[in-house]
Chains A and B, each alone.
Chain A
Amino acid sequence: MENAVNFNPEIQIECETGNYHTFCPISCVSWLYQKIEDSFFLVIGTKTCGYFLQNAMGVMIFAEPRYAMAELEEGDVSAQLNDYSELQRLCAQVKKARNPSVIFWIGTCTTEIIKMDLEGLAPRIEAEINIPIVVARANGLDYAFTQGEDTVLAALCQRCPTSTQSNQSKNLVLFGSVASTVSNMLTRELEQQGVSITGWLPAQNYTSLPSIPPQTFICGVNPFLNRTAATLIRKRRCVLISAPFPIGPDGTRAWIEQICSVLGIQPVGLVEREKRVWESLQPYLKILEGKSIFFMGDNLLEISLARFLLRCGMKVYEIGIPYLDQRYQASELSLLKETCDQLNQPLPRIVEKPDNYYQVQRIQELKPDITITGMAHANPLEARNFLTKWSVEFTFSQIHGFAHARDILELVSRPLRRNTSLGELGWTKLIKSEPILS
């Protein structure tokens, strides 16, 4: 029980009922099929899964996406049809229509419950149709939203080649799916310190996955990749560099410093670099300073964002988070603590598996200036005069590295700036009745 161990005894973590709104982890398909350009994602599930994907992705669905549902029918659920021949038929269809380099099977709640042996079926069908099949169980029984990417990357770890391409003694592989401009930027940032990178997981193509020989150093760029980290450590004998995540200039600097220190490199000019970024953020800091914020929690980026916003001078009332791996996020949690200590701020309340109903009551009591929340709650809260920022935007925006600190603040400050222009109008509480939950 990793959960039971408290790695940082000074940090108290509460746990509520887990009754919160988040995206189903199969949503990772929407960004991963774009990232891995020669892939095809087959989500093996029901109409419910399909309906979610098609609505959550909005217009993307019309752009001939490289993903589809293998929709289970009554005959599949009651085992009147044979899983093997059904999947083989669909995969042959996919091969004929798209000819991808890899097919990802995304297992769902239904395949879990009816115990469809996807891992067992995949190698047989893979051999027959001659396309690699990677199985990831990104289901809502076990995971929330961004953790879907974690299950896919963890499955991909096993497919990375072992051979060492170069003779360099220290291999370093970064993991986490980010836009290519972001990965280029972070790569350059490290190269400027003399750190060379073997590759990224995932790469732009399945066929160019990085080689991961034993003793490769690995470092994550996102806080929700604990399973991928564990797989790389246990199955590929990698060495994890535990660092805060490169979100915000403080996080980016700490991330680079940590990598440098493990590799025995003295970073040059980083402090000045961070300082310059903070200077360029001044206009936003003026808006945000002293304002309070409440994270309802749905995408696991919450600790890193809260840490950055604390550094920006905001007060953080609560950090809701679906799941907190204290071991994987250890450095991030330490930096959070350190940030609070330096700024003389109390450590925010961290709530794992939050209960949205109770959270709305706390929001009503605390009256935060901004609430970071999902779309299910955003409009009702706005109608009650609470400013909100839709949390999913943080997942779909570029937020990593020095250059994107501004994009984060652009998002966070948007409701406040919008409100400045509407402030004079007095259109604040736009519901008829007083009770908050009705």
Chain B
Amino acid sequence: MKLVYWMYLGPAHIGTLRIVSSFKNMHALMHAPLGDDYFNVMRSMLERERDFTPVTVSTVDRHVLARGSQEKVFSNLVRKEREEEPSLLVLTPTCTSSILQEDLQNFIERAMLTSSSTILLADVNHYRINELQALDKTLEQIVRHFCNKTTVPEAILTTEPSVNIIGPTTLGFHNTHDIQELKRILQSLKIKVNCILPEGASANQLTDLPQAWVNIVPYREVGLMTAEYLKKEWGTPYISETPMGLIGMGKWLTRLQETLNQISNRPQFNFSSFIRKQTFFVSQAAWFSRSIDCQNLTGKRAVVFGDATHAVALTKILTQEMGIYVACCGTYCTHDKDWFMEQVQGLCDEVLITMDHAQVYDMIVRLEPAAIFGTQMERHIGKKLNIPCGVISAPVHIQNFPLGYRPFFGYEGANQIADLVYNSFTLGMEDHLLEMFGGHDTISTKENIQDKDGEFNWDSKALSELQQIPGFVRKKVRTNTEKYAKLKGFTTITIDVLYEAKENASSIS
């Protein structure tokens, strides 16, 4: 057992559900107790999804515990198949159901006899892998199911150069914006996007996957298994660089150019002038780094923490593109430790690989950076320690699902990141100046709760009740009560007057 207050990563089934609900017309049936469908709330709230989340629960209750699921899972599979007619139904075990050790595969086989949909059992072990590993695994499982040597014996490449983008999922950090940015760049290079996987893809597109010239896996956390599989079966090469930051973008485009040239008979791709133009003139980030404003950032100390993709990419941007000193760079992707260490080697003083936010907290306290770049948790650590924080990675809250166009990838992404970094530090400096000159307001903000004019006499009980009311509405309640007392001719305000006033206030806000 472990004492845990906070988790950077969710359980495995969340990864599976994120993959299934990213696809079009696929449905997940969770074998889970009541209340485990919290994923639907997250998707509906964080992503502000307009459609019903395609996840249903086959409830595990006392009866299931006593007698097994028996007909229940089977009939729920058949029912969902009939109601939703999905191209794929994924039976998803949860940590609870996996210890029941029921033969779920058997239910699937029975249901398949009567149904026209395909049904798969999500192949994830809840006690061994986390949300991100399950993302990778489930995507590969689904791709493998629809796209294999039986359904696609031979790959015929598209005549025009084309790529698959593998990785964007529902509830992924700025994923939709990132992919839009990559699509724009590919379009201006006249490279077709064959398929985007899994967000928005449908099952019948999956057999087209081997037609792409190159697979693009921009996120370290999801898609590598699928890309490896496609490479093994049809020899499709893949590039796994992260197209983040100006240097990152340059490297990514160069890798893409090399890979495409290896496929076509004659080398026809040369992106160097494109890279130059974008870096120097389209994106503002390179110029921004040279501008004197950015000079003030030189040698400022920062701490970076997040998932592997974003923590690595941001560390590179801070150190190589902005002259910022990264005191510590860390990740909670403990399963990808070696890759992470290798990537950030030489770029920072320390590396921290942990899932325990308390360790991250201690590290930040010890290093006292001028700014933090991290997850929602680091934002709160920063608040507590009075250190500004830019959010660069999941887990995040609803404010990190912005409506406006906010990619992290590509040349526009570089602009966005430059703003994010700069604004964090400016605020930090402002804060120091304020402190130096004694803050905005040197008068104690503690509200004097006893009436100043003495027009009304609040008795002690009423006063203590008033103190119970949250600070931000207390003043309003106080004014309303006194107004009411005046109207009724009371001079002493007792607890009864307070309540009466509350009842009689009928303003609709």
Which residue of A110, A281, A357, A376 is within 8 Å of B40 (Cβ)? A376
Roughly how many angstroms separate A275 CA and B95 CA in the complex, as a whole number? Answer: 53
Cβ of B96 under 8 Å from chain A: yes
Query: Interface residues of A, CB < 8 Å — how many?
Result: 82
Which residues in B have their C-beta under 8 angstroms from that of A23? 35, 38
**Which of A74, A109, A380 has most chain B Cβ within 10 Å?**
A109
Contact: A69 with B4, CB < 8 Å? yes
Roughly how many angstroms separate A65 CA and B4 CA in the complex, as a whole number? Answer: 12
Roughly how many angstroms separate A139 CA and B377 CA in the complex, as a whole number? Answer: 28
Contact (A282, B506) CB under 8 Å given A25-B35, A51-B14, A109-B33: yes
Q: Mark A259-276, 1 if CB is under 8 A from B, else 0.
A: 000000000000000001
Contact: A283 with B37, CB < 8 Å? no
Contact: B95 with A47, CB < 8 Å? yes
Contact: A375 with B61, CB < 8 Å? no
Contact: B99 with A110, CB < 8 Å? yes
Stretch touching chain A among B261-269, B439-447, B496-504: B496-504
Q: Mark A269-293, 1 if CB is under 8 A from B, else 0.
A: 0000000110011111000000000
Cβ of A422 under 8 Å from chain B: no
Which residues in B have their C-beta under 8 angstroms from that of A77? 99, 127
Contact: B51 with A52, CB < 8 Å? no
Which residue of A25, A94, A380 is within 8 Å of B52 (Cβ)? A380
Which residues in B have their C-beta under 8 angstroms from that of A282? 506
Contact: A377 with B4, CB < 8 Å? no
Closest Cβ of chain A to B438, distance in Å, is 28
Stretch touching chain B among A5-13, A126-134, A141-149, A226-234: A141-149
Q: Is the interface of A mostly helix, strand, loop or mixed?
A: helix
Closest Cβ of chain B to A36, distance in Å, is 17
Which residues in B have their C-beta under 8 angstroms from that of A144? 34-35
Contact (A379, B45) CB under 8 Å given A70-B1, A280-B504: yes
Which residue of A48, A73, A143 is within 8 Å of B1 (Cβ)? A73
Contact: A377 with B52, CB < 8 Å? yes
Stretch touching chain A among B5-13, B208-216, B278-286: B5-13
Closest Cβ of chain B to A409, distance in Å, is 9
Residue of B nearest to A378 (CB): B44
User: In the complex, which residues 91-138 of chain A have their Cβ closer than 8 Å to any Cβ of chain B?
Assistant: 93-94, 109-110, 112-114
Which residue of B2, B11, B34 is within 8 Å of A73 (Cβ)? B2
Which residues in A have their C-beta under 8 angstroms from that of B1? 44, 70-73, 76, 81, 86-87, 89-90
Which residue of B34, B50, B56 is within 8 Å of A24 (Cβ)? B34
Cβ of B109 under 8 Å from chain A: no
Contact: B51 with A380, CB < 8 Å? yes
Contact (A277, B503) CB under 8 Å given A140-B33, A141-B65, A379-B50: yes
Roughly how many angstroms separate A188 CA and B497 CA in the complex, as a whole number? Answer: 13
Contact: B506 with A140, CB < 8 Å? no
**Which of A21, A46, A180 has most chain B Cβ within 10 Å?**
A21
Which residues in A have their C-beta under 8 angstroms from that of B496? 188
Stretch touching chain B among A56-64, A168-176, A236-244: A56-64
Contact: B38 with A55, CB < 8 Å? yes
Which residues in B have their C-beta under 8 angstroms from that of A200? none
Cβ of B335 under 8 Å from chain A: no
Contact (A437, B65) CB under 8 Å given A24-B35, A110-B96, A144-B34: no
Closest Cβ of chain B to A127, distance in Å, is 20
Which residues in B have their C-beta under 8 angstroms from that of A402? 503
**Which of A24, A26, A282, A379 has most chain B Cβ within 10 Å?**
A379
Which residues in A have their C-beta under 8 angstroms from that of B502? 403
Contact: A51 with B127, CB < 8 Å? no
Which residues in A have their C-beta under 8 angstroms from that of B509? 410
Which residues in B have their C-beta under 8 angstroms from that of A280? 503-506
Contact: A380 with B503, CB < 8 Å? no
Residue of B nearest to A390 (CB): B45
Which residue of A69, A71, A437 is within 8 Å of B84 (Cβ)? A437
Which residues in B have their C-beta under 8 angstroms from that of A47? 7, 10-11, 95, 126, 130
Roughly how many angstroms separate A70 CA and B14 CA in the complex, as a whole number? Answer: 20
Contact (A109, B503) CB under 8 Å given A24-B36, A50-B4: no
Residue of B nearest to A287 (CB): B508
Q: Mark B28-59, 1 if CB is under 8 A from A, else 0.
A: 00001111111011101100111111001101
Contact (A140, B35) CB under 8 Å given A374-B41, A379-B44, A379-B48: yes
Contact: B506 with A406, CB < 8 Å? yes
Roughly how many angstroms separate A145 CA and B504 CA in the complex, as a whole number? Answer: 33
Cβ of B488 under 8 Å from chain A: no
Contact: A142 with B99, CB < 8 Å? no
Which residues in A have their C-beta under 8 angstroms from that of B380? 62
Contact: B40 with A21, CB < 8 Å? yes
Roughly how many angstroms separate A19 CA and B75 CA in the complex, as a whole number? Answer: 13
Which residue of B50, B65, B377 is within 8 Å of A380 (Cβ)? B50
Which residue of B13, B50, B59, B65 is within 8 Å of A48 (Cβ)? B13
Residue of B nearest to A52 (CB): B38
Cβ of B487 under 8 Å from chain A: no
Which residue of A74, A145, A284 is within 8 Å of B127 (Cβ)? A74
User: In the complex, which residues 387-426 of chain A have their Cβ closer than 8 Å to any Cβ of chain B?
Assistant: 402-403, 406, 410, 417
Roughly how many angstroms separate A438 CA and B128 CA in the complex, as a whole number? Answer: 34
Roughly how many angstroms separate A435 CA and B461 CA in the complex, as a whole number? Answer: 58
Contact: A113 with B100, CB < 8 Å? yes
Closest 9 CB pairs of A and B: A24-B35, A140-B33, A376-B40, A383-B50, A47-B11, A74-B127, A62-B380, A140-B35, A46-B95
Would you list 16 pairs from A and B whose C-beta atoms are within 8 A, ordered by A residue?
A: A46-B11, A48-B95, A48-B126, A51-B38, A70-B1, A70-B3, A71-B4, A140-B33, A141-B62, A188-B499, A357-B56, A375-B41, A376-B40, A403-B499, A431-B51, A438-B52
Binding site for A on B (CB under 8 A): 1-7, 10-11, 13-14, 32-38, 40-42, 44-45, 48-53, 56-57, 59-62, 65, 76, 83-84, 94-96, 99-100, 126-128, 130, 377, 380, 383, 397, 465, 468-469, 495-496, 499, 502-506, 508-509
Not counting A52-B35, A280-B505, a sample of 8 additional A-B residue pairs whose C-beta atoms are within 8 angstroms of each other reads: A24-B33, A62-B377, A68-B3, A90-B1, A181-B465, A188-B496, A282-B506, A410-B508
